[in-house]
Amino acid sequence: MKIKHYITFLILLLISGCGMFKSIDELYADAELKRNAGNSKEALVILNNIISKDSEHEKAIKAQYLIAEIYYRDMRDFSKAIEEYQILRSKYPNSQKVPFSLFMQGFIYANMLSDFEQARNHYKEFLDKYSSHELAESVSFELRNLGLEIMDIPELKHIIK
């Protein structure tokens, strides 16, 4: 009988350790801790768990954005980052994160992948939809200088001196 209780206890301990009984807020905090500790892959598992658990929760939107950011900043998987930003844009079209996702897609195309046509398309879409957004000036700058080297951009020449 003791063995049966011991096994039941171990199973419950294992399940609770996997985050099954944690709130979405707790899971999101865990994901941030994992990421900050350099465990991006573990953070991705938790973030995907949040989205699976309740895709309509406000933290699900933040989780989707953080997934894209992890692929871009931590893993430097630019194509996957673009894909994850697109998922956010498609799944949560009214989110405040959509303009940032659209900007990041253009930015990655321009500055990481040198796909200036895709960058131009994303930047133009941004300006069409979000002309008064705080990033609109940066988008306009990027568009004006697509494909140029730093030394060829008058506003940035001071950096290379």
| Residues 102 and 81 sit within 8 Å (Cβ to Cβ) | no
74-110 per-position pLDDT tens digit: 999 999 999 999 999 999 999 999 999 999 999 999 9
| Residues 81 and 108 sit within 8 Å (Cβ to Cβ) | yes
Domain boundaries of the chain, sorted by first residue: 23-84, 96-153
What dihedral do alpha carbons 115, 137, 130, 95 form, nearest 10°? 80
Q: What is the largest CA-CA distance in the chain?
A: 79
What's the pLDDT score for residue 158?
73
Helix (H, G, I), strand (E, B) or coil at 77: coil
pLDDT band at residue 6 using 50, 70 and 90 as cut-offs: low
Two tokens, residue 113: 């992948």
What's the pLDDT score for residue 7?
66
| The total number of residues written for the chain in this structure | 161
What's the whole-model pTM score? 0.83
